[in-house]
Structure 1
Amino acid sequence: MGPVTKVFNDPIHGHIEMHPLLVRIIDTPQFQRLRFIKQLGGTYFVYPGASHNRFEHSIGVAYLAGQLVKALKERQPDLGIDERDVLCVQIAGLCHDLGHGPFSHLFDAAFIPRTRPGIKWKHEDASLKMFDHLLKSNGLEDAFGNYHLNLNDDIIFIKEQIKGEPLTPEENQGWPYKGRPREKGFLYEIVANKIHGIDVDKWDYFARDSYHLGMQINFDFTRFLKFARVCNIDDEQKTICTRDKEAGDLYDMFHTRYTLHRRAYQHNVVNGIERMITEALVLADPFIKIRGTGGRSRRMSESIDDMEAYTKLTDGVFQKILWSTCDDLKEAQKILQKVVKRELYKCIGHVRPEEEREVKKVVPLDYGMKEENPIDKAWFYRKDNQNQAVKIPKAQVPQLLPERFKEQLIQVYCKKIDGKSVEAAKKLFAKWCSDKKLTALRVDDDNTAPEPNLKRQQQ
């Protein structure tokens, strides 16, 4: 039987038809692993609808990447976008999250820094390694060739998109990417846009996460698809733009990001649970062994160096620890038993300092570019000149817009949850706030997050 397309019935995008090569990638152990990694990590323990996984998100990103690049190809034939470009962009969208570990960002943001403090590692690094492993271990190099993709420029192009930047830094000031020339540089903005953050990865997880969390959002990515064009910044550089009148909708997009972080991703109960899971994984790390390349046993923290071992590491490690009969895992097991029984660390207060402070653990809330306004980095075009990229001053957007684009939130927890310990911790917290001249924010009995402080003003 020859290569066939496959249709996925997705709750967000409807019926998605996947190219045969993408189907070959999906039907590998390395990609199927994503079925067992929660998209939102510990958030599922607070929001019961947030049961979706990296698997469906990755398919959604591949679909949206294809929709955007195909729209540009059809709308502007002079750009020279060919079928190889389209397929490479779709593959990058499909494979961009291959490197996520158990409970998604918990693994690279909390577990690895505590177990491998001497290394700088992000899940994108593992995505590149896992992509190579996927190709070699499943013999897909020939399949890529059958669809006229080469193992030099095209593979490099896919990996550059996954990483979101050049694979190796260039010493000169020329074009740093190897996979595609400067005239097609706009293709690097589709999957992971490190310039201003407007990319299809965000479009999918905004829509998918809000759907599963049961939250309404205002941003509609289909409008961007309708108005997207590639415009000239100067004689050499091109970029993907949208109409100037859509600037307000893009502010809605970044406010959506902030809202999802405040209400769900950085919810104080979520952060407390993820802290507990992290502590359990750290305690279990010396005793959980995973068979890797050549039969070598790897710790969880070592599996990032061996993709055969990493392929076997998923959220299932939670159950492995929880039901283990190994005495060495008892301390980790006790913590996870508390998670299951909802004997959770108690959040005793929040502090939102006016100035940025150096603290051990701070919850950042922003529009995606720290203290900067991401729209200042975006480009637009006007109706009377659809080929020239322009900037839109903030004052021209007829909306209530933020004064600030970043804030810190310090959350304080008490591990002992008996009434006496919690009351003592609250008094110590109040004294600390008084000494630091900070105002403590009330925490409701149900541990809901405090209201936002990104003030808005009329322009």
Structure 2
Amino acid sequence: MVPRLGRHLYPRGTVRICLLLPPFSSSSHTSLVPNACLGIRYGRPGKKKWKHEHASEMMFDDMVQTYQLDITPEEVIIVKALISGKASRCPLGETMPFLFEIVANERNGLDVDKFDYILRDCHAVGDKGNISISRIIHSARVVEGKICYDIKDANQIYELFYTRFSLHKRIYNHKTTKAIEYMVIDALLEAEPFLKIADLVENPKRYVFLTDNLLNRIEESTEEELGPARAIIERIRTRDLYKVVDFKVFSHEDKQMVEENVTADAIVKVAKSGVLTGVDEELVAQLKPSHVVVTCSMLHYGKGKDNPLDQVTFYSKKKPKECAKADYSDISLLMPSSFAEAWLRVYTKDEAFHGLIQAAYRHILKSLAPSGPHGLPASTEEAQEEEESGPGSTVAAEGGDSDVDVHPITLKVWRPGSPTLGDSPSTPRMFARNVSTGSIGSVSGLGVGAAGVGAAGRSRTMARNSSFSENQFTAVPPNFRGESPSRKPRSKRGRNVSDTFEGGRPRKSARLSEKDADAS
């Protein structure tokens, strides 16, 4: 007998239901389904853009209908709105907007979904960390229709956002993790025309069976059509993975430019153009775009390029019914100057093309070097500006409509010949500190950032330009092919492998077999 949920669920009951409906989000859902549904590879008519939130709502509708849940249509609308995090989808968003910050918080990203996967994944990888999720939850309270937190827990919340970034950087986007993910996606895409996987995503009765067992079904199949997919899965089993050719970290502002210029087609075009030296011409003729995987991931603290703490409101023990955003000086002055980065990685599906693909990629990278407004490198432009402006640069602060008499701010730029730490200045040196009185990153009414610079730009010492130089740690010759010299060759299932290493030392299995033969 199916238990009844009871009437009049909202709002507490609807939130509890949402907590039992996790979003369907994995590599197969975020990459395979959109590619297949849009017909990118197979030329089929494109369908509407698919998101994993659609799957959660679809499965909930099917649960209500299949099990005849005692829930009203109005409550169904509320549950689906809470899953999406969009308060505008139901009237409850006007009276209780804070409810839409529990399951999927679009304002600052602090929701139970993030709490859950950060705790679970940190435990899974053995990273205990120093985050107290229970402390953050007990600190939460509703003030002015928003979920706010005690200001004394601001550092804990910042640590939570940093841990999210760290997990994406170290775990979710690990080079081997992504290599296996791309191989799984390729295997599913190869099998899709035969298994019609994409056609099942809109059928809740069939969609629920799209689990990891799908790989086992492909692996144990005997159909000729699934041969390419089986071959890819066999490579995963034997650790014959896609290899990282090169990687580079760029500013988030350069992500679109990098994605438009660094592509598999562009790399192959450069390789075949004849501009590269020291390459194997036979490999050049064999290289195809299908041998190359280029990915550019956006890694951030949870709100893109913005500091997520900018959208978190706090209260204090002395004013528990008032909330406000915090300043840098209320939390810490050691926060990063950027909260997002673009991580470019180039993979090869066949390690024989390793050096060739890297040489072509680096040729493209040289053409992407940033330049100033006059066509000169950015560093040259800055040097010329400093020479023209003299030892001191004056920046006028924009005060707007204010009765305060605002004076220009003079920034002193250090130059060779200025007193150094070893010199004894004639007067004691004074260290000026900027006092922030506005929200994070700006001084109210002055448009001056935390570093004491106008809104139009940062201090020169804090400015950062994307490095388009070559990665010195991954450089190999253009004709390089094969595994890393630091790794010993491994036996691979289903392949004929020599019983000895290159140095002539027998493998352990060979030595044991010899002992058994001697004993007999």
TM-score (norm 2): 0.60
Partner of 2:469: 439
CA contact (8 A) 1:379 1:391 kept: yes
Matched, 1:195 2:127: no
SS at match of 1:130: helix
User: For 2:303, what is the secondary structure of its paired residue?
Assistant: coil
Equivalent pair of 2:301/2:340 in contact (CA under 8 Å): yes
Shift in Å at residue 308 of structure 1? Answer: 1.3
Asked whether 1:88 is paired with 2:14, we answer yes
Flag the 1:201–1:2 CA change in 2: closer, same or farther, 3 A: closer
Asked if the contact 2:101–2:111 (Cα under 8 Å) also holds between the matched residues in 1, the reply is yes
Counterpart in the other structure of 2:122: 210
Structure 1 position 301 matched with structure 2 position 198: yes
Partner of residue 365, structure 1: 299
1:116 paired to 2:37: yes
Contact 1:153 1:180 in 2 (8 A): no
Question: Would the aligned equivalents of 2:298 and 2:341 in 1 still touch at CA under 8 Å?
Answer: yes
Q: Is contact 1:348-1:413 (8 Å) kept?
A: yes
In structure 2, do the counterparts of structure 1 residues 202 and 2 end up closer, same or farther at CA, with 3 Å as the change threshold?
closer
Aligned-pair CA distance for 1:180: 2.1
Query: Could you say what secondary structure the match of 1:91 adopts?
Result: helix
Provide the C-alpha distance between the structure 1 equivalents of 2:485 and 2:332, rounded to a whole number of angstroms.
37
The structure with the greater share of residues assigned to helix is 1
In 1, the alpha carbon distance for the partners of 2:49 and 2:141 equals: 37
Letter in 2 for 1:89: V
After the TM superposition, which residues 36-435 of structure 1 pair with which residues of structure 2 at under 5 Å, given as runs?
Answer: 84-97=10-23, 100=24, 104-117=25-38, 118=46, 119-139=48-68, 141=69, 144=70, 150-166=71-87, 176-178=88-90, 180=92, 182-232=94-144, 238-288=145-195, 299-354=196-251, 355-358=253-256, 359=259, 361-398=295-332, 400-418=334-352, 421-435=353-367
Per-residue displacement from partner, 1:274-305 (whole Å, max 9, x unpaired)?
A: 111111111100111xxxxxxxxxx2111122
TM-score by length of 1: 0.68
Match of 1:147 in 2: none
Distance 2:170 2:485 in 1: 13
**1:179 Cα deviation after fit:** 5.5
What is the letter of the counterpart of residue 347 of structure 1?
V
Letter in 2 for 1:398: S
Looking at CA atoms only, which structure, 1 or 2, has the larger radius of gyration? 2
Q: Deviations over 1:166-199 (max 9, x none)?
A: 5xxxxxxxxx242625332211111110111000
Aligned residues with identical type, % of pairs: 29
SS at match of 1:312: coil
What is the rounded CA distance, in whole Å, between the counterparts of 2:117 and 2:129 in structure 1? 12
Letter aligned with residue 137 of structure 1: T
Tell me whether 390-399 or 337-346 shows the greater mean CA deviation: 390-399
Determine the C-alpha separation between the residues in 1 that align with 2:114 and 2:2.
34
- Bigger RCO (CA 8 Å, 6+ sep): 1
Q: Distance in 2 between matches of 1:181 and 1:430?
A: 51
RMSD: 2.4
Contact 1:96 1:124 in 2 (8 A): no
AA partner of residue 338 (structure 1): R
Give the counterpart letter for 1:326 in structure 2: E
Contact 1:343 1:417 in 2 (8 A): no
Q: Is the 8 A contact 2:2 2:67 kept in 1?
A: no
Moved more, 195-204 or 129-138: 129-138
Q: Say whether the 8 Å CA contact 2:244–2:348 is kept in structure 1.
A: yes
| Cα shift readout 1:223-264 (whole Å, capped 9, x = no counterpart) | 1122111101xxxxx111111121111110100000000001
The 8 Å contact of residues 183 and 233 in structure 2, kept in 1 or not, is answered as yes
Q: Rate the CA distance shift 1:116–1:178 in 2: closer, same or farther, 3 A.
A: same
Instruction: Give deviations 1:417-436, integer Å, cap 9, x for gaps.
Output: 24xx2232333333333333
In structure 1, stretches of 5+ residues that fail to align are 4-19, 23-81, 145-149, 167-175, 233-237, 289-298, 448-459
CA pair 2-412 structure 1, distance change in 2 beyond 3 A: closer
> Quick one: distance in 2 between partners of 1:270 and 1:407?
19
- Give 3-state SS (helix, strand or coil) of 2:255's partner: coil
Distance 1:399 1:204, change over 3 A: farther
What secondary structure is seen at the aligned counterpart in 2 of 1:308?
helix
In the alignment, residue 254 of structure 2 is paired with which amino acid?
A: E
